[in-house]
């Protein structure tokens, strides 16, 4: 089921999104009617709507449409809220916008997910701080990594600095057990922000790809996967059983989720 502004999505609306592909979104894991960091997801939608469309967004209406889509179902679902304008003209995108809200759901994967083996590739996302729908570049990198036998891709900037994964943030554990988040132009993920608050001893600094062999553990974070261990970046292997990512996973699970 997919709805636009609370009504069943039409073929014309979905075609407009597919062909123009201009918009932004957030993805939430909803479990028994609650979402970790729900307020942060809504803040992102408001901020990105102003950036992408120069328009406001009524979050109460958005929440109402999400509630209708999720219904009273139990268990875990992945809910994606996409903001787009089905009337946007590809030739004249500067016209005034009327953002619509597409809500889609799918079953959520089981947690914790197995460790990742990732390939480091040079790439910088356009407008990195916006969670926009233009995913071609990063999915092309993911495809290249997977065709090379890896699970996913880790992006490296032109200066050799680690930034983020395809659809996730990355963190590391140094030799002294400190959590290190790369300082770079990245999407500030909701899960990463929650973990930074729950783990105040972490640090944010540049991480060069050549430094990876000196770090003892790595992990990925996103709303869909929580905290997922990274066991290798190219030929650099990390300790899968390191206690710090496990402690972060427990801290994240213990955070109070917000009711829809």
Q: How is residue 68 annotated by DSSP?
A: H
pLDDT at 248: 96
pLDDT digits (tens, 9 = 90+) for 44-59: 999 999 999 999 999 9
C-alpha–C-alpha distance, residues 176 and 214, integer Å: 11
The answer to whether the beta carbons of residues 231 and 118 sit under 8 Å apart is: no
Average pLDDT score over residue span 98-111 = 93
What would the mean pLDDT of 70-93 be, rounded to a whole number? Answer: 89
pTM: 0.94
Q: What is the pLDDT of residue 190?
A: 98
Q: Give φ, ψ of 250 to 5 degrees.
A: -65, -40
Per-residue tokens: 51: 């950036």
pLDDT band at 73 (very low <50, low <70, confident <90, very high): confident
Of the pLDDT bands very low, low, confident and very high (cuts 50, 70, 90), residue 118 is very high
**29: β partners:** 78
Q: What is the mean pLDDT of residues 140-147?
A: 98
Domains by residue range for the chain, with CATH: 2-107 (3.30.470.10), 116-255 (3.20.10.10)
Angstrom distance (rounded) from CA 105 to CA 30: 10
> Given this model, what pLDDT does residue 193 score?
96
């Amino acid at each position: 089921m997919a709805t636009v502004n609370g009504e069943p999505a039409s073929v014309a609306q979905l075609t407009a999104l597919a062909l123009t592909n201009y918009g932004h979104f957030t993805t939430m894991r909803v479990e028994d009617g609650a979402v970790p960091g729900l307020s942060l997801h809504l803040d992102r939608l408001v901020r990105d709507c102003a950036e992408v469309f120069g328009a406001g967004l009524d979050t109460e209406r958005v929440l109402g449409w999400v509630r209708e889509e999720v219904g009273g179902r139990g268990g875990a679902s992945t809910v994606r809220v996409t903001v787009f304008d089905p009337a946007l003209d590809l030739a004249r995108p500067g016209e005034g916008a009327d953002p619509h809200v597409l809500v889609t759901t799918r079953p959520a994967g089981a947690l914790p997910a197995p460790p990742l083996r990732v390939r480091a590739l040079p790439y910088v996302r356009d407008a990195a701080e916006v969670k926009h729908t233009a995913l071609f570049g990063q999915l092309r990198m993911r495809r290249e990594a997977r065709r090379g036998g890896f699970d996913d891709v880790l992006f490296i900037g032109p200066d050799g600095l680690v930034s983020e994964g395809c659809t996730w943030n990355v963190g590391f554990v140094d030799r002294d057990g400190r959590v290190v988040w790369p300082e770079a132009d990245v999407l500030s993920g909701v899960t990463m922000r929650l973990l930074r608050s729950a783990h105040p001893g972490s640090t944010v600094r540049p991480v060069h790809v050549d430094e990876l062999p000196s770090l003892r553990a790595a992990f990925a974070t996103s709303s869909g996967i929580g905290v997922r261990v990274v066991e290798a970046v190219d030929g650099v292997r990390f300790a899968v059983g390191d206690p710090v990512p496990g402690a972060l996973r427990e801290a994240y699970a213990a955070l109070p989720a917000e009711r829809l």
